[in-house]
Chains A and B, each alone.
Chain A
């Protein structure tokens, strides 16, 4: 049977048992690490509010068409020249368009709601890919050490030194032609954004995982497993990996807001999503030239972006505190 524990908190024996209830019949209840974690997280009010916001945000992204039809605002791609004044200037918030319209007369409310889809899609997919690559490389490097470690660590350093915004801008310029670049392999749009973000961000995960694995592989339970004749694969998957969950959860939750911002930055620079797809970054970019005349066009996507990133950061902090109370 494995001696590794699923949430990585086995050795905190002092917290295993918690005194519940007060008065005469004091009762000692044993709690699983998961329960402990949840208890601590629940006590963090800020993190819980932020978590609530994220749940709402995800619901909003999933139910975007429903929300837009309930509020009666037009589809995010519908252009309406009637919503512009005779000079072509967008009109501000009104009952028909609660957040005003953009320069093509598209509804800013609908676009902000739909924009959550792009932001979350990019953030979750890119972070997922980055974590997978990072864990694989970090595990192998830390576990086998030696020349494999040297090669993989230097590779990580090289990628870490890569100027991501320049890469994004370069790809945008090179691939904005009619046929994309590399004979159509790379087309500007969402996949490029996700790829660029994932390619860069695995490095942080890889470094953290490698450090953890270096110390974990020397632990007694690993030696025990080895002396029982367990294969490398078994040790990595069953003994080491489960002990990485805690730091991975924390760092992924902090990577997500960073990636949302990166998507916004890339869309702002024109690398991001194509054409009419609503994205907060692209909306802010389009709004810059009109700001003195149409502040609503920048304010609402800007607020959405700010609150989303803030919420993810706060949840990340809360998770970190709950999983590793010694760092408080």
Chain B
């Protein structure tokens, strides 16, 4: 056989293989026609996303404990690992969802209510003094540590837990942000030292004394795992290591579950990067606990990076749920038609935006910023994240489900007053008006400098960066787009004001706890602009606004506090600091035999409430 003929045949074989592959994909994609587009289902309560998910497992959050069956083993499929298993180290919602099943902190969020934390280890709501400088919490009696500690939890264990969070060996990421005003708390992470501002008059009482009236933020932060009790006599050995090995190596537990451990408390069930094996905690004392804890065993497996494969595995399998992975938006369309009962979605408790640097030209000119927001097709950016099915266009900066959202006119925001936010698809006529106001008679940007855009190189952020570049070009800007890894984007560019990036299209922020301060203070307070790890991406620094933020931090009474922060929210939006485009929802999937309950705070399936059918 001549070589040409052989080559031709080989090539033809390859062609056939390729076509076969294409056809196979085609079979997969049968519902190409639009069946009931979300835009048509305008009537009824809630936003479009919530209407779409009506009838899904999201409804289980209303009666989370009802109809659950005891027993069984559940497998959780995740892409990666938790950041830390140490309750005082972790700062990751996915990990917090797991911590919440093995530890009891002072407060916790029930699946259906993200606006207010409920008492867990605490007996009742925190008592904040009128000046906001003292916060007192009473503890329940009879909650027990697991073996080998096996004793009752006292207020001193909560105190030690918080104190260790301030050390260099634990290096908690938010301790100083919300608890930094404690009397005698160190300003920099260092050796362990007692914090005189945390008093324990008796075993069931803990009192926090503050230098400033920031008690409301401290009380809110007690719903984070920093308030998990840690027995000093057991943990201090591990806390002397750098970094501390408490949690990842050895630990004791107060929740209904524990990481499978040996007699010394060594967490043999935790294989970093691979697996977390949770079993029932034999020493669990269910004193006045809201956790029904239906399951007997939970096996959390990492390594499922291909979210579309993992989603299919969960749906076709038994007793499986998704961990931190989300079904790809392109798959969601089919799932909403065929697998609604296995789906759930809750507001992600945050927003995403295309941030522009307001400290330097051209975006130091507020009219240029307004022009860009007015002309920007925000719906196109949102479409890359699943469109309206996965969340409304963000019109302001307090997300749905948080105190201050309704005070900010809910989803509408201040569109009537701020006309540059009126169009979701972008209104170039309005944009031209603002460019003219900024002295550009052509109605487009007329400067010649090149804008640096630095975005995440992974989808969907890559596409959103390309959309951003295109939109800016259409409005007359010259641009250079650099796509780098998410890590590089933050550590070398967007989090470093000196790097002089003009546009960061891949940034977003989520709540630490249900308080609007956590959404607005780190991100728009000029006092918080720092050289590295800066999260005030627009570098917004308006003195009157900064003062207003500092004052709002001191408001205690919940209704007034919500109003104060909504007012801050209004003033930030009036500055047109960036292009917010989405309050995104987090979707999760479970196998058909799972009665999944999604937690609105961790946004993952709640391991304490989820059960097998």
- A328 to chain B: closest residue by CB: B2
Residues of B with C-beta under 8 A to A294: 29, 330
Known: A86-B389, A275-B466, A295-B29. A314 touches B483 (CB 8 A): no
Known: A81-B383, A289-B459. A87 touches B329 (CB 8 A): yes
Known: A87-B387, A313-B11. A302 touches B18 (CB 8 A): yes
- As a 0/1 sequence over residues 430 to 473 of chain B, the CB contacts with chain A under 8 angstroms (1 = contact) are 00000000000000000000001010010110010011011000
* Distance of B376 from chain A, by nearest CB (Å): 12
Residues of A with C-beta under 8 A to B387: 84-88
* Pairwise interchain contact B25-A292, C-beta atoms closer than 8 A: yes
- A318 to chain B: closest residue by CB: B4
* Pairwise interchain contact A317-B329, C-beta atoms closer than 8 A: no
* Pairwise interchain contact B332-A87, C-beta atoms closer than 8 A: yes
Known: A85-B34, A86-B388, A178-B493. A306 touches B18 (CB 8 A): yes
Give the contacts of A89-132 with B (CB-CB under 8 A).
Answer: 89, 91-92, 103-105
* Pairwise interchain contact B380-A79, C-beta atoms closer than 8 A: yes
Give bound CA distance, A233 to B28, whole Å.
65
Give bound CA distance, A290 to B379, whole Å.
20
| B150 interface residue per 8 A CB criterion | no
| A176 interface residue per 8 A CB criterion | yes
Give bound CA distance, A176 to B483, whole Å.
7
| A41 interface residue per 8 A CB criterion | no
| A293 interface residue per 8 A CB criterion | yes
* Pairwise interchain contact A87-B4, C-beta atoms closer than 8 A: no
Give bound CA distance, A321 to B2, whole Å.
10
Give the contacts of A299-321 with B (CB-CB under 8 A).
Answer: 299, 302-303, 306, 309-310, 313-314, 317-318, 321
Residues of B with C-beta under 8 A to A318: 4
* Pairwise interchain contact A276-B466, C-beta atoms closer than 8 A: yes
- As a 0/1 sequence over residues 382 to 408 of chain B, the CB contacts with chain A under 8 angstroms (1 = contact) are 011111110000000000000000000
| A162 interface residue per 8 A CB criterion | no
Pick from A47, A177, A290: contact of B330, CB under 8 Å: A290
* Pairwise interchain contact B4-A317, C-beta atoms closer than 8 A: yes
Give bound CA distance, A124 to B418, whole Å.
55
Give the contacts of B1-48 with A (CB-CB under 8 A).
Answer: 2-4, 7-8, 11, 14-15, 18-19, 21-22, 25-26, 28-29, 32, 34, 37-39
Pick from B8, B333, B488: contact of A46, CB under 8 Å: B8
Most chain A C-beta atoms within 10 Å of own C-beta, residue among B15, B383, B384: B383
| B484 interface residue per 8 A CB criterion | yes
| B492 interface residue per 8 A CB criterion | yes
| B304 interface residue per 8 A CB criterion | no
Pick from A81, A86, A275, A299: contact of B37, CB under 8 Å: A86
- As a 0/1 sequence over residues 221 to 239 of chain B, the CB contacts with chain A under 8 angstroms (1 = contact) are 0000000000000000000
- B499 to chain A: closest residue by CB: A178
| A291 interface residue per 8 A CB criterion | yes
- A80 to chain B: closest residue by CB: B380
| A255 interface residue per 8 A CB criterion | no
* Pairwise interchain contact A81-B379, C-beta atoms closer than 8 A: yes
Pick from A270, A276, A296, A314: contact of B4, CB under 8 Å: A314
* Pairwise interchain contact A293-B29, C-beta atoms closer than 8 A: yes
* Pairwise interchain contact B7-A317, C-beta atoms closer than 8 A: yes
Pick from B34, B328, B454: contact of A178, CB under 8 Å: B454
- As a 0/1 sequence over residues 171 to 184 of chain A, the CB contacts with chain B under 8 angstroms (1 = contact) are 00000111000000
* Distance of A28 from chain B, by nearest CB (Å): 30
On chain B, which size bracket covers the interface?
Answer: 35 or more
* Pairwise interchain contact A84-B383, C-beta atoms closer than 8 A: yes
Give the contacts of B155-194 with A (CB-CB under 8 A).
Answer: none
* Pairwise interchain contact A88-B384, C-beta atoms closer than 8 A: yes
Give bound CA distance, A173 to B159, whole Å.
46
- B48 to chain A: closest residue by CB: A86
Give bound CA distance, A275 to B385, whole Å.
20
Give bound CA distance, A275 to B481, whole Å.
8
Most chain A C-beta atoms within 10 Å of own C-beta, residue among B328, B329, B379: B328
Known: A86-B387, A87-B329. A103 touches B459 (CB 8 A): yes
Residues of B with C-beta under 8 A to A103: 384, 459, 463
* Pairwise interchain contact B3-A177, C-beta atoms closer than 8 A: no
* Distance of B10 from chain A, by nearest CB (Å): 9
Known: A84-B383, A292-B308. A104 touches B37 (CB 8 A): no
| A222 interface residue per 8 A CB criterion | no
Residues of B with C-beta under 8 A to A310: 8, 11, 15
| B482 interface residue per 8 A CB criterion | yes
* Distance of B31 from chain A, by nearest CB (Å): 11
- B306 to chain A: closest residue by CB: A289
| A298 interface residue per 8 A CB criterion | yes
* Distance of A74 from chain B, by nearest CB (Å): 13
* Pairwise interchain contact B482-A177, C-beta atoms closer than 8 A: yes
- B34 to chain A: closest residue by CB: A85
* Distance of B325 from chain A, by nearest CB (Å): 14
* Pairwise interchain contact B4-A92, C-beta atoms closer than 8 A: no
Give bound CA distance, A313 to B9, whole Å.
12
Give bound CA distance, A277 to B452, whole Å.
19
Residues of B with C-beta under 8 A to A89: 329-330, 333
Residues of B with C-beta under 8 A to A270: 457
Known: A104-B467, A302-B18. A81 touches B380 (CB 8 A): yes
A–B complex contacts, Cβ < 8 Å, 16 sampled: A44-B4, A77-B470, A79-B470, A86-B389, A87-B332, A92-B32, A104-B463, A176-B484, A177-B482, A178-B501, A275-B469, A276-B470, A293-B331, A299-B18, A306-B18, A317-B7
Closest 8 CB pairs of A and B: A295-B25, A81-B380, A88-B383, A293-B330, A299-B22, A317-B4, A87-B333, A310-B11
Seed contacts A86-B388, A290-B330; 14 additional CB < 8 Å A-B pairs: A79-B380, A84-B383, A86-B389, A89-B329, A89-B333, A104-B384, A178-B484, A178-B501, A276-B466, A292-B28, A292-B308, A298-B25, A302-B18, A318-B4
Q: B residues engaging A (CB < 8 A)?
A: 2-4, 7-8, 11, 14-15, 18-19, 21-22, 25-26, 28-29, 32, 34, 37-39, 308, 328-333, 377, 379-380, 383-389, 425, 452, 454, 457, 459-460, 463, 466-467, 469-470, 480-484, 488, 492-493, 499, 501
